[in-house]
A and B are shown apart, each in its own frame.
Chain A
Amino acid sequence: MDNNQKRFIADALDLLNDLDEGLMQLETNPKASAPLEQVFRTMHTIKGGANMFGFAPIGEMAHQLEALFDLVRQGKMQVTDALISVTLQAFDKVRDLLKEKEESKINNAAALKDHLNAAAELVVQHAQADAGMEAVGTTRKDELATYFIRVTPTVPVTGDGNHQLVFIMLDLEALGTAHTRAFQKENNEILHWHQFLATTTSPAEIESFFLFVDHECKYEVTRLSPGNILEDEAFLQCTTAFNENRISWQELMDAAGASAEKLKARETEELGIDDQNASVAKKKSVNDAIIKVSKRKIDDLLNWISELIILQAQLVNVSEASNNVALNGVSEQLEMITNRLRDTSLEIGLVPIETLVTKFKRLVRDLSKSLNKKVNFLSEGADTEMDKDVIEMMAEPMIHLIRNAIDHGIGLPGERKASGKSEYGTVKLKAFNSSTYVNIIISDDGKGIDKDAVLRKAIEKGLTSADAQLTDEEILNLIFHPGLSTAAKVSDVSGRGVGMDAVKQKIYELRGSISIKSEKGKGTSFHIKLPLSRSIIEGMLVSVAETRYVVPLNAIERIDRIPYEALDRQDKVNKTVVVNEQPLPVLSIRKQFHHEENPPKTTDIISVLVNGMRKGIAVDRIEGKMQTVLKPLGDAYQKQDFISGSTILGNGKLALVLDPSRLFSFNHM
């Protein structure tokens, strides 16, 4: 495939995401025009590109569906569940095809045949149903007027969530000229919306938008004046003042009246200006400051900067040894600039997790449908940024968690009602930054994890002894143990793909951590913490004989110093040692990998949590905490996967970065 084709595929995959989003909006709001236009436009782009770059079958598929949506646009056809489902499935197939490596496989017309037939079927059905019917068309014969719409949700809704209300507000905007302001609580939940809308749609029709969300919000639609007074700058200032509580309702109404007068006077002079075009143009220009850069270039840049950081650390060493004041000054300056450069360049490679959120919305939609559950998906902080690779690697584990939440956590509507909850379950994704970490919390308001069942199962499988006194946290952590599934029966949903141990493994590979909170009857929440960068790590530098090792800080629970002889009591490499008055299985790096003479008098035990169990790594000495650049070991050392890489210290020497969980599994502990 040539570069143009590759670029088309990359673009098309992005477009397919947008398309999913648009189709889901359309599903919740079949009458909305904004998502309909977006869906239509996106399909058209895909069709054009596919035909141009030699992917005719995909072009054909897009063409068929585009034709269907054109009927909808003309008001000749209704948006139905069948239409949305056929379209989603067809483009799922297109997505799969585009992920193939060879052109001939992408152009597999046979793979799309069923979907083409399904689309054709819809056309036939439509033609039959439509035989006698008149075209519906959108009726817009009412007079142009300006309205004030105030909407107060009575259920938790976030601005970036998938609640219908969010889309309804957008749909209303599409009816004409609009100024919307969302008032949010600190946690991003919407208190209420104020929307000023100039439109020809009648108030009754505006209210009909809220038909299906009646029980989830309060709304009022007030007619302010005839005409579009939002064109009047003076009135716009009043709306802002009103939103900020600086003027009263009465003052706003007065201003509306005055603006309407002014407007009328002006209209007699010059005949109507179409304001709608201007607002469309404005919306389009938002994206123009973004350029696409290939991932490889960014990786190159980051590699060079990593080397600069290492070199800079060496410079500090040299200049400090030289006692040259001028050199020290320059070196300090350079350090400052290098750090800034590092921070800025790390940000370049970050992308918002929004793409994942769209995927999850889709997942929640499909899954709740197939399980007959009612699930509301809320997301918060979709603009939180993460490394693109990390986002891709996290997709699978997060999908697993969300799947679990819907499959096991949230009950059927009837069950939920019986336990006094709303029929709609909520799955919430919250992302935010804290220092050098990205936090992701996935929570549900479902049944919660049955700790007794987990414990019973763990004892049954011999993962823990019956008389062990485990804390709630330790019991919950048992679910990450491979070979423990509490699901009474393996369903299609939860039996597929990765298990909880794989989720944890993936997160650990990214040097992150995961913790669980769960309350029976109230729900479960998973807190994932990931480092912002894959190449910069925070770790504890330790030494064993002549070799330096780095233990990632995220794994460390505590550190104890004990006499070296404590490790000597039996002539075994790994064994239980009493640390902090508790028995701890300890692996001595010195005994395991180094056979040098002259052992130290004391040894430092680093306690880490592996698969929910506390284990110890014995090293000679702790050197200190450090932030450093992780370098891959190179191809020759793939069998030593308990070492995740190396890092260059300030003095130019190398240290090996340990992967604690692999270290223990490597040694069968």
Chain B
Amino acid sequence: MKRENESQAYLTFALGAEKFAITVESVQEIVELDQVTKVPNAPEYMLGIINLRGKVLPLLDTRLKLGLPKTEITKKSRIMVLDIEAGDDKNVQIGALVDVAKEVIQLQPEEIQEAPDFENYKTQAPITGLVNNQGDITMIMDIARIFNTSEILHLEQSVI
């Protein structure tokens, strides 16, 4: 993540009552939830595959991946199409299901505070910072660290 003296743009979204933000660079677009094709024998957080205008993307449940209860599908459910670096100059596209996709905000580096340890999130500290706007807390997430786990890295050879 860049730590320059300029403001950066973040996309905010909600998982349950909590508000999160990720850098917009990794967000390609936001789409509504349509048809999901389930892939047998996959972990529960991997909801299946979706067809994004001819491109096949895996869809992940962001809440399950973070150790929260499964996402309830509502009219507000959205898919964030993310472009994640997977090493070797390779980028991986995935869809991440969230409860609500909110807005794009600009943040100055000094507005972001160090993140304390979060015991209730199972993933190893994907929260890199906090923004405290008069008690309204937004957690900044390192999106690559959540989804760029080992399963994303070595795939190419198994898919012909």
Which residues of A pack against B, CB within 8 Å? 306-307, 310-311, 509-511, 534, 547-548, 589, 592-594, 630-641, 643-646, 648, 652-656, 666
Contact = CB atoms under 8 A, between A and B. Distances in A.
Q: Chain A: interface secondary structure?
A: mixed
26 contacts: A307-B55, A311-B54, A548-B37, A589-B40, A632-B56, A632-B159, A632-B160, A633-B39, A634-B58, A635-B92, A636-B42, A636-B94, A637-B39, A637-B155, A638-B154, A640-B40, A640-B41, A644-B159, A645-B159, A646-B37, A653-B51, A654-B35, A654-B49, A654-B56, A655-B37, A666-B41
Can you list the 7 inter-chain pairs with the closest CB atoms, starting with the nearest?
A593-B40, A635-B155, A636-B58, A632-B159, A307-B54, A654-B37, A631-B56
Contacts of A510: 160
Contact of B40 (A548, A592, A646): A592
Nearest to A641: B158
B150 to A, nearest CB: 10
Given A643-B39, A656-B37, A635 B153 contact: yes
A369 B6 CA distance: 70
A391 to B, nearest CB: 15
B2 to A, nearest CB: 25
A636 B152 contact: yes
Scoring B38, B39, B94, B152 by chain A CB atoms within 10 A of each residue's CB, the highest score goes to B39
A478 B50 CA distance: 40
Given A640-B42, A654-B51, A633 B58 contact: yes
| B interface, over-half SS | mixed
Contact of A648 (B38, B42, B51, B58): B51
Interface residues of B, number: 31
Given A307-B55, A637-B46, A666-B41, 6 more contacts: A548-B37, A592-B40, A637-B42, A638-B154, A646-B37, A648-B54
A227 B50 CA distance: 76
B114 interface: no
B56 to A, nearest CB: 4
A666 B159 CA distance: 16
A633 B49 contact: yes
B49 A534 contact: no
Contact of B42 (A534, A547, A592, A639): A639
Contacts of A652: 35, 51
Contacts of A631: 55-56
Interface of B: 35, 37-42, 46, 49-51, 53-58, 60, 86, 92-94, 151-156, 158-160
B49 A635 contact: no
Contacts of B42: 636-637, 639-640
Nearest to A510: B160
Contact of B151 (A632, A636, A655, A656): A636
B32 to A, nearest CB: 14
Contacts of A646: 37, 49, 56
Contacts of A656: 37, 39-40
Residue of B151, B154, B160 contacting most chain A CB atoms (<10 Å): B160
B147 to A, nearest CB: 8
Contacts of A666: 41
A304 to B, nearest CB: 9
B49 A634 contact: yes
Nearest to B148: A635
A640 B160 CA distance: 13
Contacts of B155: 634-638
A358 B122 CA distance: 56
B160 A534 contact: yes
A636 B56 contact: no
B60 A636 contact: yes
A532 to B, nearest CB: 15
Contacts of B151: 635-636, 638-639
Interface centre among A534, A593, A636, A655 (most CB of B within 10 A): A636
B94 A634 contact: yes
A369 B158 CA distance: 38
Contacts of A638: 151, 154-155, 158-159
B160 A635 contact: no
Nearest to A658: B40
A396 to B, nearest CB: 14
Nearest to A653: B35
B46 A636 contact: yes
Nearest to B34: A652
Nearest to A667: B41
Contacts of B35: 652-654
